[in-house]
Structure 1
């Protein structure tokens, strides 16, 4: 039987708290459910603790696409739960350091042909690149320890053809 992971547990805690904030459950029921969620060791126990709650909002999906030219996002922009970036030719620059990240986990799916890509993540972000396939050049990323717990988890997946992906943490 699969053990409950940290992401699953955090998601369950968030769902219980949201149900309380929306006044769908009482304070006592929230306490009882949180105790069951934190004590759960299997997915079955976790599901039982969340049983009558409505499903979590899966978030939004957005696609940024360009056949040629540059794709650039920076400043205070809203990051969707799933961001698909598609570019045949050209450079991609995503700066998430000042972006509004409303979800604890953000998936960035890359589909890039030719051209380099650069992604700047928040200082305390945790970056996962296991689902990424590079064709021509290697990935440049040096993981760092988060400066404080609770930073967003950025999962980067997809494929790069001829180009290099550089991921770095923001200084501030």
Structure 2
């Protein structure tokens, strides 16, 4: 005999709903689903009340790869990544007083969306992204200096999508697209 609570469908929580929205947006960015299909599925997720309804909206999506997360930390000094380095799905960079330079122009990027989370004190940061990348830094909070970024004049379909978030104290972030 089963209890009444086992028979009731599991209600969807806000974290689960947010994760489903993120997966749909990434599937759209990777061109796995059309704009119309994303809109329909977003509506399903946002109005869902149970876990099963959310799962139904995500059912035909490609299996989500368990992307890697890496953290680079330095109290002082320089943090630098360049050349043919493998970019993890989530990259967290923490530095109290140093300079940060991330060059993704020749890096191995295996994910359609890369999240770079910066936590910097007084140092400055420079990020070079691939020529065709789409950059979003709306979730980055800066202290004294604004972020310097000039989007490319000619936009293609835009791959990959680089999302920069976090907190910068007194330093400045400069984002530029590779020339080649």
TM interval, shorter chain, is 0.7 to 0.9
Cα RMSD (Å) of the superposition? Answer: 2.8
| Alpha-carbon contact 1:12-1:50 (below 8 Å) kept | no
Q: Which residue of 2 is the match for residue 129 of structure 1?
A: 137
- State how far apart, in whole Å, the 2-side matches of 1:170 and 1:110 are: 20
TM-score by length of 2: 0.71
Q: Post-superposition shift, 1:149?
A: 1.9
Aligned length in residues: 148
**Structure 1 residues 136 and 101: alpha-carbon distance in aligned structure 2, compared to 1, 3 A threshold:** same
Partner of 1:9: 28
Q: Tell me by how many angstroms 1:39 deviates.
A: 8.1
Q: 1:27 — aligned with what?
A: none
Q: Secondary structure at the match of 1:7?
A: helix
Q: Is the 8 A contact 2:27 2:61 kept in 1?
A: no
Of residues 82, 91, 108 in structure 2, which corresponds to 1:100?
Answer: 108
Q: Are 2:161 and 1:153 aligned?
A: yes
Give 5+ residue unaligned stretches, structure 1.
Answer: 14-33
Contact 2:28 2:38 in 1 (8 A): no
The 3 A distance-change label for structure 1 pair 130 and 8 is same
Unaligned regions of 5+ residues in structure 2, if any?
Answer: 1-20, 46-53
Separation in 1 of the partners of 2:37 and 2:124?
43
8 Å Cα contact 2:105-2:178 kept in structure 1:
yes
Question: C-alpha distance in 1, partners of 2:168/2:38?
Answer: 41
